[in-house]
Amino acid sequence: MAILRREAPAWGAPVVTLIAEQTGDPFRVLISTILSLRTKDETTAAAARRLFARATTPQAMLRLRAATIARLIYPVGFYRTKACAIRAVCRDLLERWDGAVPCDLDALLTLQGVGRKTANLVLTLGFRTPGICVDTHVHRITNRLGYVRTRTPDETERALRRKLPAAHWIEINDLLVAFGQHLCRPISPHCTRCPIVEYCPRRGVTVSR
């Protein structure tokens, strides 16, 4: 983790992290995380800019029709579905939380369409409270390193909660997402350029660069 932390500035932060750093707003972290699912960072960044130029609160977001939100966030993946999900989340926040984003994992998971990855990212980036956000990068890399042996992201989260020191919980997603996007790719990772290759058994890697 210390090595990755040292190298990470050269890779650039994930887009949701940048939004969190720039705004400090849990609501924008929540909405941008929804946008980011199955979408490249550059597409998410542009869509978030367009959407937040029109609405930065649940109240303002609900004043936009689903079709308007869909047009603003296009071409993120599943943009029509996400437009409806954003409105549903905003309605939930207003009806049950007075428009505020809850800072509790179980409460976040009751919001429509919010899964463990999104909820944990809101905790760690929106509130800077402990959580372990496991996306495909974290799941793949922690297994590739041999740190865990799991089949699904949910299993990986549970394993990391048992094994990973709490001091690293908030930062693990940022570090491994950046690492996974730039070097430790799903197919043919850049092992010859990897700063932690000496610690990695490269489990599951058949082709590398």
User: Largest Cα–Cα distance of the chain, in whole Å?
Assistant: 54
Q: Is the peptide bond before 26 cis (omega within 30 degrees of 0)?
A: no
Question: How is residue 196 written in tokens?
Answer: 């932690």
- To the query of whether residue 82 is one of the catalytic residues in this protein, the response is no
How far apart (Å, rounded) are the C-alpha atoms in residues 74 and 160?
A: 35
* Residue listed under structure tokens 């020191």: 165
- 163 assigned to active site: no
Distance in angstroms (rounded) separating the CA atoms of residues 58 and 77: 22
Catalytic annotation, pick one of 41, 135, 154, 174? 135
Q: Which one is catalytic: 41, 82, 117, 174? A: 117
Locate all alpha helices (DSSP H) within 24-152, ordered by sequence. Answer: 26-36, 41-54, 58-62, 66-73, 79-97, 105-108, 116-121, 136-144
Q: How many CA atoms lie within 13 A of 47 on its CB side?
A: 30
As a whole number of angstroms, the distance between CA 102 and CA 112 comes to 13
Active site residues: 117, 135
